Chain A
Amino acid sequence: MPLNPSFVGRTYPPSAPYRVCREKIREFAAAIGAADPAHHEPDAARALGYPDVVAPVTFPVVFTWPATRTLVDDPELGLDFSRVVHGDQRFDYRRPVVAGDELVCTNTIEQISSRAGNDMITVRTDVATTGDEPVVSAWAMLVVRGGE
């Protein structure tokens, strides 16, 4: 079933807040081998001017991907997540994510297109604190592989 193009421009209600914790940042940094002490030791992060440990640059995917997935589970949109391939990804930062942030994701469908039997959908996720401070925007382009 092709994606419903009338969904372009639609913004979904914000996600429940995601609380960024120090141990999750450490775990993620360890998993990708990011050894900079600012990811692991609060004192090292404070020396750079941050209140607590700093997340690696792709860390927001930990909460933006589930937020995007919730959106694409919208039955009216008609997206079959089992056929989804991650096409591209981009982050545009106002500031790094740090432990202690309480972040809310707001998803907007920016683009829907079709090529060679595949559907493509670009979702922008605006990430802000619960105090409305913008932190980062993430764009994910998902390719929905055509059925047989």
Chain B
Amino acid sequence: MSDAQPFRRPDLPAQTYRVTRADLVRYAGASGDFNPIHWSDRVAAAVGLPGVIAHGMLTMALVGRALAAWTGRPDAVVEYGVRFARPVVVPDDDEGTEIEVRADVRDVSPDGLTSLDLRVTCGGQRILAQARATVRLPAAGPG
């Protein structure tokens, strides 16, 4: 017998994350990535970007939060990979921008690993390609 389906579509509600310039500054400090394209309009324009863009790894981290939200665990991720397909422009205002994360269950293996296809968008456009994760759900019952 196969295991009970641990995830069904209604179990994976879209997660949204707002990103402002302040978030970029905070992430730069915490991650050690001080590339000026993530905080200087002048440098971003000079390299041909439409504006200051979010760190790809910040986007990846926010999708990691979605994985934690769906699994209910901070340690469920076994494998996780993305391709940075399109830059996320973060305007210099109080609103910033918003990233939306959705997932489809691709496969559930007999040993309890669940493979997810991730759809990550900003303003309706896909910002990550080939975004996939494999998560291990906790055994039934408390930890």
Of the candidates B26, B77, B83, which one forms a contact with A31 in the assembled complex, judged by CB atoms under 8 Å apart? B26
Q: Select one of B23, B26, B61, B81 contacting A90, CB under 8 A.
A: B81
Give the size range of B's interface with the partner: 20 to 34
CB distance from B117 to the nearest CB of A (A): 15
Determine whether A7 belongs to the interface, using a CB cutoff of 8 Å to chain B: no
Chain A CB within 8 A of B74 CB? yes
For the complex formed, measure the closest distance between the CB of B115 and the CB atoms of chain A, giving whole angstroms. Answer: 13
B95 part of interface (Cβ distance < 8 Å): no
Q: Is the CB of B81 within 8 A of A89?
A: yes
Chain B residues positioned under 8 Å from A65 (CB to CB): 31-33, 57
Partner of B74 from the list A30, A54, A58, A93 (CB cut-off 8 Å) is A54
Docked-complex contact B78 and A93, CB < 8 angstroms: yes
* Residue from A36, A58, A93 within 8 A of B79 (CB atoms): A93
- Within 8 Å CB of A88, what residues of B? 81-84, 130
- A33 is an interface residue with CB less than 8 A from chain B: yes
Interface residues on A, range: 20 to 34
Q: Are B81 and A47 in contact (CB under 8 A)?
A: no
Cβ of A134 to closest chain B Cβ, rounded Å: 13
From 24 to 47 in chain B, residues with beta carbon under 8 angstroms from any chain A beta carbon are: 26-27, 29-33
Indicate whether B7 reaches chain A with its CB closer than 8 angstroms.
no
* Nearest neighbor of B68 in chain A, beta-carbon distance: A36
**B122 at interface, CB cutoff 8 A:** no
Binding site for A on B (CB under 8 A): 17, 23, 26-27, 29-33, 56-58, 60-62, 64-65, 67-68, 73-75, 77-84, 130, 143
The 10 closest A-B pairs by CB, nearest first: A90-B81, A31-B30, A88-B83, A57-B64, A32-B61, A36-B74, A58-B61, A31-B26, A38-B74, A96-B75
